[in-house]
Amino acid sequence: MRFIQSFVPPKQKSTSTGVIPALRGLTWLQWAQFLSGWIAWTYDALDFFSVALTVNLLSKQFNQQVSAITTAITLTLLFRSLGAIIFGVLSDRFGRKWPLVCNLLLCSSLSLGTSFVTTFPQFLAVRSLFGVAMGGVWGLASSTALENLPVELRGLGSGIVQQGYALGYLIAAIINLTVVPYSSHSWRCLFWTASSVSFTTAIVRACIPESAVFLRAKAIEREKGSNTTQKTKIFVRETKEMLKTHWKLCIYAVLLMAGFNFMSHGSQDLYPTYLESSKGFSSHSATIATIIGNCGAISGGAIAGYTSQYIGRRLTIVICVLLVGSFIPLWIIPTSFAGLAAGAFCVQFGVQGAWGVIPIQLAEMSPPAFRATFPGVAYQLGNMISAASAQIEATGAKHIRETVIVDGKPTSVADYATVQGIFIGVVAAFVIVVTILGPENHSSHFEQHKTAFEEGGGRDDAMLEGEEGEESVGGSGHSIREVEGKKSGV
């Protein structure tokens, strides 16, 4: 009991009485900020999983083996850390709005470019560049969505935002099921869709005002007479101060995200290929099973995120990962569609349930002034470490074979079931250990902290003057209206 209680956070001073009152108190601007971040991550995931869902089609298109096609996934994951650094720094220095708009426009351009490649080297090159663009989106989207919400809603908001990833996968699977088989353009349809929705999301984000935290900080700096050069020098100095103080935390966050990304990619990227190659399912049935799994992911993320607000971030993660381990047999043993689909639902409920806590866990764990750069870079460096997940599984399955009956004849096929079962089990154990050993800063008011371009922003105790004990920017929207009122002369 004491072990469990060590994970449960102490009660925090709250600005409202619970989730429902907090939801009722949201302004249209807070809703818009949250939804823009969620949509950005959703459609970014749609593009990423367009490759995973069409591995076999791409293999035929470019006359390459499956393991060669998965190189594109590996390259995308490898280059995401570069994008996280570039766009994370731009966001913490200049604000959430325009860096995210530019990021989404770049994603749209590269998605469109993917649809027009004609050779395998071209495909790999464009997907590598897309990795840079994709790497920037998560940190910017999650910080945009969460920092404008009241503390009471951040657990639930975290789960919903993160499961934009699963929803993007779900939308891609539906398009792959209903459009791709009947179109003369085949797999290219997926990338046209991803390009158009990323462009639309960029336009929507451009129409929504900047995050209240940055409007307030810029107003303060304007009153002080600070210019762009001065703010940039302060930003560089505060970044060095943060790294000097928190280098151990940086290493821990990368290890945590490496485990999470191995768990996620190991259970998702080659799942359709696993069902088709090892279980003998048609592409249609594999896609339906993928859709069912993503329904489990979406529900798991929302439920776990909400639960973490009450029992703590780490305890929620540990419970979800234990669920993953307990359902691995259901993931690999059945041969029927119903059994395997149930396994997909349960495992993804646990995997993405744990993931649903990650945006807010990283935001609360981060040096407050760097909550776009720190979570984004940690996430994507973890992605870089786990980049070879699909290739590890594809290579392992090539060497571990099993015999199944196909059309009444024994046939040797790649044993993805055994490979994925071992892979996910080992990674789940690692994630539990790392999570238990890590910190938790439940319900921190990071929105009351100075930004990275303000003097002293690199220190953890650099709170804004007069903020302590007052209602936060995300609490009722009062601070948002105050800043907007000053801008309009009210």
Torsional sign, CA 148, 150, 153, 154:
positive
> Would you state the structure tokens that stand for residue 184, as one six-digit string?
């003369």
Residue 412 bridge partners (DSSP): 403
Contact at 8 Å (CB) between 357 and 375?
no
> Would you state the structure tokens that stand for residue 99, as one six-digit string?
């860096």
Residues 62-85: b if buried by 16+ CB within 10 A, e if exposed: bebebbbbbbbbbbbbbbbbbbbb
Of all residues in the chain, what percent are helix, strand and coil, respectively (each to 5)? Answer: 75, 5, 20
What pLDDT tens digit does each residue of the chain (490 aa) get?
Answer: 444 445 545 444 444 457 788 888 888 888 998 999 999 999 888 988 888 888 888 988 998 887 788 888 888 888 988 999 999 888 888 888 999 999 999 999 999 999 999 999 999 999 999 999 999 998 889 888 888 888 889 999 999 999 898 888 889 888 888 888 888 888 899 999 989 999 999 999 999 988 877 787 777 777 777 777 777 888 888 888 888 888 999 999 999 999 999 999 889 878 888 888 888 888 888 889 988 998 999 999 999 999 999 999 999 999 999 999 999 999 888 989 999 999 999 999 999 999 999 999 998 888 888 887 888 889 889 988 988 888 888 888 888 877 665 556 666 777 888 889 999 999 999 999 999 999 988 877 777 777 777 777 777 776 765 544 444 444 433 343 343 444 433 3
Stretch (H or E) spanning 413: strand 409-414
> Would you state the structure tokens that stand for residue 328, as one six-digit string?
């691995």
Measured CA angle at 101 (ends 489, 351), to 5 deg: 120
Contact at 8 Å (CB) between 328 and 424?
yes
Query: Helix, strand, or coil here: 376?
Result: helix
Measured CA angle at 53 (ends 50, 56), to 5 deg: 120
158 closest CA partner among 297, 350, 295, 357: 357
Quote the pLDDT of residue 482.
40
Residue in the block written with tokens 């979570």: 375
CA distances from 205 to 29, 86, 140 (A): 12, 19, 12
CATH homologous superfamily for the domain 27-210+241-437: MFS general substrate transporter like domains (1.20.1250.20)
Report the DSSP pairing between strands 401-406 and 409-414: antiparallel
| End-to-end alpha carbon distance in the chain | 55
> Would you state the structure tokens that stand for residue 325, as one six-digit string?
């381990």
Quote the pLDDT of residue 407.
59
Contact at 8 Å (CB) between 355 and 260?
yes
Sequence-distant (6+) residues with CB within 8 A of 129 are 79, 110, 113
Quote the pLDDT of residue 213.
76
> Would you state the structure tokens that stand for residue 77, as one six-digit string?
């994951």
